[in-house]
Amino acid sequence: MARSVTMADVASLLTPYLDRPVIDRSGLRGAFDVDLEAIEIKPKGPFGPSYRPSDTKESLFNAIVSQLGLSLEKATAPIEILVVEHAEKPVEAQGAQAAWRDPSPHQVRFIDVEPSVRLEVLDWGGSGPPLVLLACYISAHTYDEIAPKLTNQFHVYGITRRGIGASDKPATGYAVQQSANDAIEVLNALNVQKSILVGHSCAGQILTMVAARHSDRLLGLVYLDGATDPTMTAADVGSPTPDPTTLPSTIKPRSAPDHTSFEALRVSQRRDRGWAFTEAELRQQFATNPDGSLGESLLSPTIRRAITVDARVKPDYSHIRVPVLAIYQKDPPFEQVRANFLIRNEQELAALRQEHAATRALYVRWQRDLLAAVPTARIVELEGASLYMFLSNEADVIREVRTFASTLQP
């Protein structure tokens, strides 16, 4: 499942499964939630670079048609060919590429959570109670910019979960319970008796599980758009999403990301989104070509599915016995949203309004479910924030975490 992605994003996600680039020619604009069920991807090796559909389940090609109403078509087109008789990389560029260092002031260590599984742990140091940062299917390096700004109040750690980045990538162990066990093993190795756990997106499931089984190890929980229910759809709350083909186009479609270098990609992300992943995080996500450009994705689609789809569980907040801060993204008012679209008729206007209402209905339901089980939970909504709110709204997140921590009992 992928949330709030463009069709260009979907094309990029499909590319690793095939032997050729996938280009979006659907003409669809806007952001969509995409979920393909009952398909199986069979790699050459444990998590090899080449993938083929399974013979026992619906193929990827058929799933695109039957579940999304789209199609994948093979096509050829003339291209310009530039013949280079000789090329040589400048010595300075080679040295600069080899000399890149993560500028974030953390120590890196690896901790055994099972006999054959080690996890990468980042330690930014600091004074105060331990604050432990967890992510969904990205690494702890995604917190490289915000973490140092919290060290004057907390001792800040980040854990890269199994299967991601520099952590080991076993074939099994991606269920939420095992992820919670991994977190506890890391805390044991760090000799951290009690901590504030911070979880982004699907890492929120880990927080809920740790709280249910190890509440004595917690000072509090901070969900960053993570107190959600991945098993619930907008239709389940009586507000189904519209047919994507009826949505209007955006006034400013997102341009293709620039993969010529990591900094170029960050520049294009800031231009299109207003924020960018840290360079260290991007280097965990992509291989580096000899010329410094970005290579293939380093995230195994099999592992991503294991984390985001196969491990989905309905959250049970009833066992939480510690204070909770839940920060959510929130869409701007509809009239502000519609100003970003080229609306040609009443049908498109109605579809956009329906999508806006469906998203809001889900968030209202998720917050209500949390408060029903934890009435003292503090709910904060950041209007206009992205899913990666610690990047798009860093100052807001820091402020709320500091305020929340000041209310905790040691």
408 band by pLDDT with thresholds 50, 70 and 90: very high
What distance in Å separates the CA atoms of residue 341 and residue 256, rounded to the nearest whole number? 19
What distance in Å separates the CA atoms of residue 97 and residue 215, rounded to the nearest whole number? 45
Which tokens belong to 71? 């199609």
Q: Which residue has the tokens 């093993």?
A: 185
Provide mean pLDDT across the span 4-24. 67
What distance in Å separates the CA atoms of residue 47 and residue 205, rounded to the nearest whole number? 24
What Rg do the C-alpha atoms of the chain give, in angstroms? 22
Angstrom CA distances, 190 to 87, 122, 410, stand at 49, 11, 18
Q: What is the largest CA-CA distance in the chain?
A: 70
Which tokens belong to 117? 């599984």
Nearest in space to 192 (alpha carbons), one of 129, 123, 107, 117 = 129
pLDDT value at residue 151 = 98
- Supply the pTM of this predicted model: 0.78
pLDDT value at residue 330 = 97
Nearest in space to 59 (alpha carbons), one of 79, 80, 36 = 36
Among the residue ranges 74-83, 324-333, 386-395, the one predicted with the least confidence is 74-83
Nearest in space to 315 (alpha carbons), one of 205, 212, 223 = 205
Nearest in space to 336 (alpha carbons), one of 356, 351, 354 = 356
What distance in Å separates the CA atoms of residue 54 and residue 309, rounded to the nearest whole number? 18
Residue 84 burial class via C-beta count within 10 angstroms: exposed 0-12, middle 13-18, buried 19 and up: exposed
Adjacent-strand bridge partners of 382: 329
Nearest in space to 3 (alpha carbons), one of 308, 270, 254, 292 = 308
In the DSSP assignment, the letter for residue 5 is E
284 three-class SS: helix
pLDDT value at residue 18 = 58
Structure confidence by residue, pLDDT tens digits, 127-151: 999 999 999 999 999 999 999 999 9
Structural domains of the chain ordered from first start: 1-75 (no CATH), 107-232+309-405 (3.40.50.1820)
317 band by pLDDT with thresholds 50, 70 and 90: very high
218 band by pLDDT with thresholds 50, 70 and 90: very high
Angstrom CA distances, 1 to 185, 306, 309, 396, stand at 29, 11, 6, 28
